[in-house]
């Protein structure tokens, strides 16, 4: 296999693009895809400041690396979920990454904000772990960006993640989730930070290759709660379809974004208020995060 650009031996074969690249040209291809994502959805401008939510995994660290290399003003935010060794190790990866590049890493401890680490939150509320965790992440990332004066919050969701989420939402026809699924969610309230996913054009295999070729030291293990998550079953189904027909995931996601999403967006209209307890944006009187923290407090009180 030869590189499409220079004819040297290729390091990676991208069947869905019908192309193969050597290492330097793959890195160039990867960054071009990120630039195209930023341009297409007007995710941010050079004068924006971007807070990258990093988990210590390949995707978020690859994203941070690209944005630094592209010259954006960034910082990282790491959410310490308190999930045993997984959190200890993933935090160390983020700290080492930031230190090696002279970047700021903001650390938010979920146990401090919610009143208990994620495994205890799950026991106290009997909510599915990932639902309490996802809610806390969204809230704390937004709050951290506001507090530290960043204009955009970026996450490392890739094509596989986005296609799997879309598949799950379609399976249950969750129209509110479909209306919110987008590579860029604009700020619709002064206290709601714009959210972007600049890796949505790149597959998991591609972000892993990029992280490897760039020498990024990331945590390979998944969060222990990810095992058995339905999203993994959805990824399996999509991987089998991709195997049979390269480009299937891409067509599924991009078809939705280009042709169907607008129909769901039009149906969604909510009035945003400020939470009476914490002041963050909510649709009710008290935000879901404050309700969660209150529930944890009641269940863990001596
Ligand atoms: S939501 Fe669930 Fe993740 Fe939170 S509990 Fe782990 S798997 S980290 S992406
Ligand atoms: Zn080449
Ligand atoms: Zn609140």
Which ligand has its closest atom nearest to the C-alpha of 136?
1
* Among protein residues, the one whose CA lies closest to atom 8 of ligand 1: 223
* Among protein residues, the one whose CA lies closest to atom 5 of ligand 1: 130
> What confidence score (pLDDT) does residue 267 get?
59
Which ligand has its closest atom nearest to the C-alpha of 56?
1
Alpha-carbon span 113 to 78, nearest angstrom: 14
| Ligand 1, atom nearest to 129 Cα | 5
The chain-wide mean pLDDT, for the chain, equals 95
For ligand 1, mutation pick of 89, 119, 225 (most atoms within 8 Å of CB): 225
C-alpha angle with apex 214: 15 to 202, nearest 5 degrees? 35
34-48 as b/e: b if 16+ CB within 10 A: beebbeebebbeeeb
Distance, C-alpha 219 to centroid of its chain? 16
Which ligand has its closest atom nearest to the C-alpha of 86?
1
Segments of the chain with pLDDT less than 70: 228, 266-269, 302
Alpha carbon of 264 to ligand 3 centroid (Å)? 27
Alpha carbon of 299 to ligand 3 centroid (Å)? 18
pTM: 0.96
- pLDDT tens-digit map of 253-270: 999 999 999 888 865 567
Are the C-beta atoms of 158 and 247 separated by less than 8 Å?
Answer: no
- pLDDT tens-digit map of 86-113: 999 999 999 999 999 999 999 999 999 9
> What confidence score (pLDDT) does residue 24 get?
97
> What confidence score (pLDDT) does residue 265 get?
81
* Among protein residues, the one whose CA lies closest to atom 1 of ligand 1: 130
* Among protein residues, the one whose CA lies closest to atom 7 of ligand 1: 226
**Residues pairing with 152 in the sheet:** 50, 194
For ligand 1, mutation pick of 226, 233, 292 (most atoms within 8 Å of CB): 226
262: enclosing H helix or E strand: helix 261-267
Residues with Cβ within 6 A of ligand 1?
81, 118, 129-130, 133-134, 223, 225-226
> What confidence score (pLDDT) does residue 226 get?
87
């Amino acid at each position: 296999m030869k590189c499409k650009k220079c004819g040297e031996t290729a390091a990676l074969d991208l069947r869905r693009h019908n192309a193969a690249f050597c290492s330097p040209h793959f890195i160039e291809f990867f960054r071009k895809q990120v630039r195209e994502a930023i341009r297409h959805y007007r995710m941010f401008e050079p004068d924006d400041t971007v807070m990258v939510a990093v988990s210590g995994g390949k995707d978020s660290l690859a994203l941070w690396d690209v944005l630094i290399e592209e010259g954006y003003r960034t910082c990282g935010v790491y959410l310490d979920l308190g999930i045993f060794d997984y959190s200890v190790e993933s935090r160390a990866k983020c700290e080492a990454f930031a230190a090696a590049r002279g970047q700021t890493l903001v650390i938010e401890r979920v146990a401090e904000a919610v009143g208990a680490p994620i495994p205890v939150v799950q026991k106290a509320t009997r909510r599915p772990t990932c639902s309490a965790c996802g809610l806390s992440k969204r809230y704390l990332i937004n709050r951290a960006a506001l507090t530290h004066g960043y204009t955009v919050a970026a996450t490392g969701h890739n094509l596989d993640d986005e296609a799997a989420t879309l598949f799950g939402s379609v399976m249950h026809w969750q129209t509110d989730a479909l209306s919110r699924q987008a590579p860029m969610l604009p700020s619709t309230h002064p206290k709601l930070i714009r959210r972007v996913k600049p890796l949505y054009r790149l597959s998991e295999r591609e972000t892993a290759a990029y992280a490897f070729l760039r020498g990024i030291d990331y945590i390979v293990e998944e969060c222990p709660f990810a095992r058995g998550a339905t999203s993994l079953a959805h990824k399996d189904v999509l991987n089998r379809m991709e195997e049979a027909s390269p480009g299937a995931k891409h067509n599924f996601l991009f078809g939705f974004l280009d042709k169907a999403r607008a129909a769901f967006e039009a149906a969604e209209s909510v009035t945003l208020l400020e939470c009476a307890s914490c002041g963050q944006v909510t649709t009710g009187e008290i935000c879901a995060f404050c309700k969660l923290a209150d529930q944890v407090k009641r269940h863990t009180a001596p």
